Amino acid sequence: MRFLMMHRIDENDPEAWNPSPEFIEKMGGFIQESAEKGILITAEGVHKTDKGSLVRKPRGAAIRVTDGPFAEAKEVIGGFALINAADRAEAVEFAKRYVELFDMEIEVEVRQVVEFEDIEAQAQA
């Protein structure tokens, strides 16, 4: 099964956007090891919200685009990883190892990816 991990960080925490050389080395080793074991499919960090946009389509209304930064959001997505895991419990254990790498406050949401087979099985039910 594939799982998407999205980590949220405080956008105002300077450490979140300026990682130390030690953190970069630690994260690099974790990523390499996880990829070699076939767990990690991809992982990326993202820029601050001042380089982003939010596209909204309210029900029955026109699409609205808001360019960042997003002042109303304290915690923002700082990056994501797509992993292979046998089940949600295994994905959560991986997420625990991942958050342990950080020396700041971080939250990781773990969500199973919908596979084509899931949609077929749901349609037949």
Band (pLDDT 50/70/90 cuts) for residue 58 is very high
- List the beta bridge partners of residue 84: 2
Q: What three-state secondary structure class fits 90?
A: helix
- What residues have CB less than 8 Å from 70, skipping those under 6 apart? 11, 49, 52, 54, 76
- State what percent of residues in the chain have pLDDT above 90: 79
* pLDDT reading at 71 higher than 80: no
**CA–CA distance, 108 with 81 (Å, rounded to integer):** 10
Measured distance CA(104)–CA(97) in Å, rounded: 14
Mean pLDDT, rounded, for 70-79: 85
Q: List Cβ neighbours of 101 (8 Å cut-off, separation of 6 or more).
A: 23, 26, 27, 30
pLDDT band for position 26 (50/70/90)? very high
* Residue 58 · residue 68 · CB < 8 Å: no
Q: How many other C-beta atoms are found inside a 10 Å radius of the C-beta of residue 49?
A: 18
* pLDDT, averaged across the chain: 93
Residue 48's pLDDT is what?
92
> What's the whole-number mean pLDDT along residues 59-85?
91
